[in-house]
Amino acid sequence: EPEVTQTPSHQVTQMGQEVILRCVPISNHLYFYWYRQILGQKVEFLVSFYNNEISEKSEIFDDQFSVERPDGSNFTLKIRSTKLEDSAMYFCASSATGRVEQFFGPGTRLTVL
């Protein structure tokens, strides 16, 4: 069964550094999403992406964040200058055209020191 994959599983970085989190969505899906979950809190929507542009974004997704589909398979989330409060689990998800249900990856745990 096809799955969403994410790398790395755990990223440790220093405050102020840039990080790129990578996702490979399910191959025939065209809608992509990033969510995050701060420890002990709910999963929060960050951004959705379709047809090479952002469809929706939340208040959390400020100028420090960007997303990109650099090739036909990867979908990345970049945080330009990480802050301590960016420490969280980041989940990528994808969905097929015309389908609302999203399939999630295993997540990347980001730790900002």
Partner 1 sequence: AQSVSQHNHHVILSEAASLELGCNYSYGGTVNLFWYVQYPGQHLQLLLKYFSGDPLVKGIKGFEAEFIKSKFSFNLRKPSVQWSDTAEYFCAVNPQTGANNLFFGTGTRLTVIP
Residue numbers at the binding site for partner 1 (CB under 8 A): 3-4, 31, 33, 35, 41-45, 48, 55-56, 58, 91, 95, 100-107
Identity of the residue, 67 or 82, whose beta carbon is nearer to partner 1 in the bound complex: 67
Shortest CB 25 distance to partner 1, Å: 13
Task: Count CB neighbours of 113 within 10 A.
Answer: 10
Residue 21's SS3 state is: strand
Identity of the residue, 1 or 14, whose beta carbon is nearer to partner 1 in the bound complex: 1
Rg over CA atoms, the chain = 13
Shortest CB 70 distance to partner 1, Å: 22
Assess contact for 87 and 38: CB atoms under 8 A: yes
